[in-house]
């Protein structure tokens, strides 16, 4: 009896000490370098990848795409705020919210939050981009405290993706008190956001850093890393130096050529690659520069565009610009898009055939200067690139050289980024090297490659009614199938509104002490809360614990 | 004297107004879309660009924008940054100014203490090995681009020898409730390399000016007379000769003072120092007009004020230039 009396407290103490030790071992921190400042990581105010990265740690979605990023199969999605979902018919989706979900101020996440957030996002004066994406959503209603019903106007494969991905619910009890309009951006909520995700807001020092703290009551499991600090560093040298001197633990934009060489000397850092949702392409202006009423005098001819596509060696361009971190692209489908496997093989690199095609169109080199002419007009094109982009600065001379071999003279115009964007949006260019950072759903191609997109992102004014109709059928009807995606990509390849060159991967340097490291293409840090620090490799700042607010 | 000072301040204010108006118009004439950073490579919905233009007021005619800017500036409100939206320009400037003043102040202090001391030393030991080698080393450092020297220092001091941090103004993991001693040590460790880089590349100017001014004064009769009277050499050097070199040094100080405020774009970038220089550089790169105008106003104000202070300084140290 006496032994028992002594043994039980001893066992309890031992268990408590083991738990405390375990908690101690779970401590950790991560310092992430960002090239842009996350100044407003609030859904509906989001601009730029830095804001999105932080916002994804603060605010969950109803569900997120599974590892394959198949956006048309709702069974492949993973629960987030919604623990389950079902269909009443082809137009009605029902989401059951997880009753354990809480806002960081302790209030429960309810259907009212979801309804109110959808109302905000669908207001085109608040978020025109998402309002457009949700145009086929008819109503969002709260049936019970934890049940949300969404009715659509059309039955299409991407319904579930649209319903779950585009909106990150905000706390209605806080946001509804703020007047609509510009007051929201300067409100107390934006200064100190209250989310529902694995990390909660601590503070932002403008121009320097933003700090988050683990939310121990996170309903999907307490995060293992206590502190997440996002450092703002714009200079590429400073970014790498911060990583190499140990100030930071993670950098998501390692320069593809020089970065791996420098990191090889740092045993504490490892380099990981994650498929991206971006595609680099040579955009071809369909209209005369500065006068969109007239077709482009040279590039208006589809055969010339096809010749340009055949004159470019994509594999070579991708390898020499991004090293092993990119794949050649044949369509606006990135490495991480599920439709990438549906893209038909393009014409490939055929410089002799390209030259022959140009000759058939009347472009011949009569004066022997190496540049083709037609009716006395030389085949000279201006290629605009933003001076700040290192990868495009590497690729542009290679494009110039490859096209020189088929008799096209390319003049590279390096522009300040604001001038590059201005000329692009006004259509004042022949060719430009652009990067498209797309949504997980391939349906985003409508915005850049449809006739309707001319009022927005389709700056080269490419328009093919047959493709519009095909895309509409593919994306917004239940007839949409892999076959129709193939046909749409093939039509784009035949029209050559652009030469799609490469889809780069995210090359991420991360400290070797982290375990369970994983990144998601659509939300790089979506699984950060599952990471932990190897107890044997902890460094001083990992033991710091949570900061005081 | 007061009338003279008031007149000088009025002139300065008029100069400032002209500079600001000129800057405002020139910025609007420069090519480039101020919304480029917001637009970037992402897809845009039809009409989204127009909505953004209206939100930031860049859809208005230039005169309307100028009216709105002047009305705001009179109230002390310089508007909202486009790139750092919703931060106000005044709060951005206020958050960046201390870092710039700290770095600029330390560099100025090093230049005008060490630089003067070395310059006087060179003049006193003219033609000696000390004079020759100090001059050579300072000129070599002066000839180096600041950003390059910064990178070299980082490569060796931070990355290879791991003595000092490579960038930042403070340790990002420093707890907010850390004691002042820890904070001070952390700040000094981060300040060391950028301050050293800027000082090394600029100290030669102060040294050369001081050396030349001292040599010119040493030749004057009153210095010879002071020595002949048997005054101690230190008193002759600092009490008689050096005081008469103050006018050219004040001119140099007047030219240096604005750097206190403007910061150094390259060095701030290399060391990720959160100062006004890098803020202005970002504003130029993104055509963030409100921030650009705010920093330009601050720097122009500093230049004009430095001119007034230098004039006052002349009047104080040299009775010959004092207004009658």
CB of A209 less than 8 A from some CB of B: yes
Q: What is the ipTM of this complex?
A: 0.84
Which residues in chain A are contacts of B151 at CB distance < 8 A? 237
Which residues in chain B are contacts of A541 at CB distance < 8 A? 173
What is residue B76's predicted lDDT score, i.e. its pLDDT? 86
Per the prediction, chain B carries an average pLDDT of 87
H helices then E strands: how many in chain A?
A: 17, 25
Check whether A479 has a pLDDT greater than 80: no
What is residue A16's predicted lDDT score, i.e. its pLDDT? 41
What is residue A344's predicted lDDT score, i.e. its pLDDT? 93
Strands A227-232 and A209-214: antiparallel
CB A336 within 8 Å of CB A522: yes
Which residues in chain B are contacts of A419 at CB distance < 8 A? 31-33
3-state SS class at A135: coil
Report the alpha-carbon distance of residue A75 to residue A70 in Å, rounded: 10
Instruction: Compare all CA atoms of chain A with the CA of B288 and give the residue at the minimum distance.
Output: A418
User: Which residue do the tokens 């118009």 mark?
Assistant: B25
What is residue A353's predicted lDDT score, i.e. its pLDDT? 96
Q: What angle do CA B263, B264, B270 make, to 5 degrees?
A: 125
Average confidence (pLDDT) over B152-157: 94
Q: Assign A15 a pLDDT band (cuts: 50, 70, 90).
A: very low
Predicted structure pTM score: 0.88
Average confidence (pLDDT) over A6-26: 44
Report the alpha-carbon distance of residue B269 to residue A136 in Å, rounded: 46
Q: Assign B42 a pLDDT band (cuts: 50, 70, 90).
A: low
What is residue B44's predicted lDDT score, i.e. its pLDDT? 66
What is residue A422's predicted lDDT score, i.e. its pLDDT? 87
Cis before B86 (ω within 30):
yes
The residues in A 388-407 lying below 8 A from B, measured between CB atoms, are: 388
Cβ neighbours around A326 below 10 Å, total = 28
Check whether B254 has a pLDDT greater than 60: yes
- Testing the interface with B: which of A207, A233, A432, A440 to mutate, by most B Cβ within 10 A? A207
Report the alpha-carbon distance of residue A416 to residue B34 in Å, rounded: 11
Report the alpha-carbon distance of residue A103 to residue A94 in Å, rounded: 22
CB A201 within 8 Å of CB A212: yes
Which residues in chain B are contacts of A461 at CB distance < 8 A? none
Task: List the alpha helices (DSSP H) in B154-179.
Answer: none
pLDDT tens sequence across A198-232:
999 999 988 889 999 999 999 999 999 999 999 99
Check whether A11 has a pLDDT greater than 60: no
What is residue A120's predicted lDDT score, i.e. its pLDDT? 92
What is residue B266's predicted lDDT score, i.e. its pLDDT? 85
Cβ neighbours around A144 below 10 Å, total = 11
pLDDT tens sequence across A94-131:
999 999 999 999 999 999 999 999 999 998 888 877 88
What is residue A446's predicted lDDT score, i.e. its pLDDT? 84
* DSSP β-bridge partners for residue A229: A31, A211
More confident residue, A149 or A483: A149
CB of B42 less than 8 A from some CB of A: yes
Average confidence (pLDDT) over A138-157: 95
Average confidence (pLDDT) over A489-493: 95
Which residues in chain B are contacts of A129 at CB distance < 8 A? 42-45, 48
Report the alpha-carbon distance of residue A442 to residue A447 in Å, rounded: 11
Check whether A150 has a pLDDT greater than 50: yes
Check whether B56 has a pLDDT greater than 90: no
Check whether B92 has a pLDDT greater than 60: yes
More confident residue, B319 or B101: B101
CA distances A55 to A197, A508, B68, B72, B93, Å, are 9, 19, 33, 32, 26
> A234 and B269 in contact by Cβ < 8 A?
yes
How close B23 gets to chain A, by Cα (Å)? 18
CB-based contacts of A333, cutoff 8 Å, min separation 6: A279, A339, A340, A342, A343, A442, A489, A503
- The closest of A160, A25, A185 to A534, measured between CA atoms, is A25
More confident residue, B11 or A80: A80
Burial of B14 (0-12, 13-18, 19+ CB in 10 A): exposed
Q: Assign A7 a pLDDT band (cuts: 50, 70, 90).
A: very low
A vs B: CB pairs below 8 A: 176
Facing residue for B87 by CB, picked from A39, A229, A434: A39
> A234 and B282 in contact by Cβ < 8 A?
yes
Task: List the alpha helices (DSSP H) in A427-481.
Answer: 445-449, 465-476
Report the alpha-carbon distance of residue B191 to residue B24 in Å, rounded: 34
* DSSP β-bridge partners for residue A138: none
Across A540-549, B146-155, B207-216, least confident range: A540-549
Tokens of A491: 């039509």
Facing residue for A437 by CB, picked from B42, B86, B151: B42
How close A404 gets to chain B, by Cα (Å)? 28
Report the alpha-carbon distance of residue A447 to residue A439 in Å, rounded: 11
> A421 and B39 in contact by Cβ < 8 A?
yes
> A39 and B96 in contact by Cβ < 8 A?
no
Average confidence (pLDDT) over A388-403: 94
Tokens of A385: 């690139």
How close B178 gets to chain A, by Cα (Å)? 11
Average confidence (pLDDT) over A258-282: 91
The DSSP code for A160 is H
The residues in B 172-211 lying below 8 A from A, measured between CB atoms, are: 172-173, 175-177
Cα end-to-end distance, chain A, whole Å: 48
How close A221 gets to chain B, by Cα (Å)? 25
Check whether A451 has a pLDDT greater than 70: yes
The residues in B 276-305 lying below 8 A from A, measured between CB atoms, are: 278-279, 282, 285-287
């Amino acid at each position: 009896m006496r032994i028992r009396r002594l043994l039980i407290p001893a066992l309890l103490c031992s268990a408590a000490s083991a738990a405390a030790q375990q908690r101690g071992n779970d401590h950790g921190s991560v310092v992430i370098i960002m090239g842009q400042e996350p100044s407003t990581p609030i859904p509906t105010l989001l601009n730029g990848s830095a804001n999105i990265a932080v916002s994804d740690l603060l605010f969950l979605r109803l569900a997120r795409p599974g590892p394959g990023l198949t956006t048309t199969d709702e069974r492949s999605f993973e629960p987030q705020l919604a623990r389950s979902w079902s269909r009443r018919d082809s137009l009605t989706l029902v989401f059951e919210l997880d009753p354990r979900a809480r806002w960081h101020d302790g209030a429960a996440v309810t259907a009212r939050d979801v309804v109110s957030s959808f109302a905000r996002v669908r207001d085109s004066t608040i978020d025109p981009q998402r309002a457009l994406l949700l145009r086929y959503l008819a109503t969002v209603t709260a049936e019970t405290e934890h049940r949300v019903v969404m009715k659509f106007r059309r039955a299409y494969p991407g319904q579930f993706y649209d319903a779950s991905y585009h909106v990150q619910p905000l706390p209605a009890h806080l946001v509804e008190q703020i007047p609509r309009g510009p007051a929201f951006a300067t409100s107390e909520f934006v200064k100190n956001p209250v989310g529902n995700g694995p990390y909660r807001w601590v503070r932002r020092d403008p121009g320097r850093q933003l700090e988050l703290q683990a939310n121990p009551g996170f309903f999907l499991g307490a995060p293992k890393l206590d502190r997440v600090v996002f450092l703002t560093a714009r200079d590429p040298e400073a970014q790498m130096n911060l990583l190499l001197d140990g100030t930071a633990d993670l950098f998501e934009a390692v320069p593809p050529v020089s970065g791996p060489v420098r990191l090889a000397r740092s045993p504490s850092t490892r380099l990981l690659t994650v498929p991206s949702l971006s595609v680099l392409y040579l955009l071809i202006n369909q209209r005369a520069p500065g006068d969109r009423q007239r077709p482009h005098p040279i590039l208006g001819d589809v055969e010339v565009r096809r010749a340009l596509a055949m004159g470019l060696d994509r594999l070579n361009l991708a390898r020499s610009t991004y090293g092993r971190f990119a794949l050649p692209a044949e369509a606006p489908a990135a490495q991480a898009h599920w439709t990438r496997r549906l893209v038909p093989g393009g014409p490939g690199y055929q410089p002799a055939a390209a030259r022959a095609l140009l000759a058939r169109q009347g472009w011949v080199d009569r004066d022997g200067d190496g540049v083709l002419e037609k009716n006395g007009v030389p085949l000279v094109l201006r290629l605009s690139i933003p001076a700040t982009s290192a990868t495009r600065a590497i690729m542009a001379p290679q494009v110039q050289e490859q096209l020189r071999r088929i008799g096209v003279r390319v003049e590279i115009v390096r522009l300040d980024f604001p001038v590059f964007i201005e000329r692009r949006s006004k259509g004042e260019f022949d060719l430009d090297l652009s990067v498209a950072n797309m949504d997980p759903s391939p349906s985003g191609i409508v915005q850049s490659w449809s006739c309707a997109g001319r009022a927005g992102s389709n700056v080269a004014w490419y328009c093919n009614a047959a493709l519009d109709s095909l895309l509409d059928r593919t994306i917004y009807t239940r007839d949409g199938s892999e076959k129709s995606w193939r046909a749409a990509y093939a039509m784009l390849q035949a029209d050559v509104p652009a030469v799609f060159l490469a889809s780069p991967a995210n090359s991420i340097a991360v400290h070797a002490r982290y375990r369970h490291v994983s990144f998601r293409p659509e939300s790089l840090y979506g699984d950060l809360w599952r990471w932990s620090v190897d107890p044997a490799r902890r460094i001083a700042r990992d033991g710091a614990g949570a900061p005081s607010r | 004297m007061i009338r003279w000072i008031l007149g000088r301040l009025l002139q300065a204010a008029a100069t400032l107004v002209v500079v600001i108006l000129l800057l405002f118009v020139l910025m609007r004439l420069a090519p480039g879309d101020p919304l480029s950073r917001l637009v970037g490579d992402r897809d845009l919905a039809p009409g989204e660009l127009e909505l953004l233009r209206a939100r930031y007021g860049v859809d208005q005619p230039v005169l309307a924008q100028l009216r709105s800017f002047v009305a705001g500036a009179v109230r002390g409100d310089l508007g909202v940054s486009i790139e750092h939206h919703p931060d106000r320009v005044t709060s951005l400037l206020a958050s960046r100014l201390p870092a710039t003043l700290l770095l600029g102040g330390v560099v100025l202090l090093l230049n005008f203490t060490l630089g003067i001391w070395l310059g006087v030393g060179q003049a006193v030991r003219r033609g000696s090995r000390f004079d020759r080698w100090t001059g050579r080393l300072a000129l070599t450092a002066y000839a180096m681009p600041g950003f390059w020297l910064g990178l070299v220092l980082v490569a060796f001091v931070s990355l290879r020898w791991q003595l000092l941090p490579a960038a930042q103004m403070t340790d990002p993991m420093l707890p907010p409730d850390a004691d002042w001693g820890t904070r001070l040590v952390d700040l000094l460790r981060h300040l060391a390399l950028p301050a050293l880089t800027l000082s090394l590349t600029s100290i030669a100017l102060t040294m050369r000016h001081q050396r030349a001014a001292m040599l010119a004064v040493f030749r004057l009769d009153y210095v010879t007379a002071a020595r002949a009277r048997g005054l101690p050499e230190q008193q002759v050097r600092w009490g008689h000769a050096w005081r008469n070199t103050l006018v050219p040094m004040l001119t140099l100080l007047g030219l240096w003072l604005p750097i206190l405020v403007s910061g150094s774009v390259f060095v701030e970038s290399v060391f990720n120092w959160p100062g006004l220089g890098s803020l202005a550089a970002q504003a130029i790169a993104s055509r963030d007009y409100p921030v650009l105008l705010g920093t330009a106003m601050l720097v122009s104000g500093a230049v004009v004020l430095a001119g007034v202070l230098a004039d006052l300084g002349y009047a104080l140290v040299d009775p010959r230039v004092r207004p009658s």
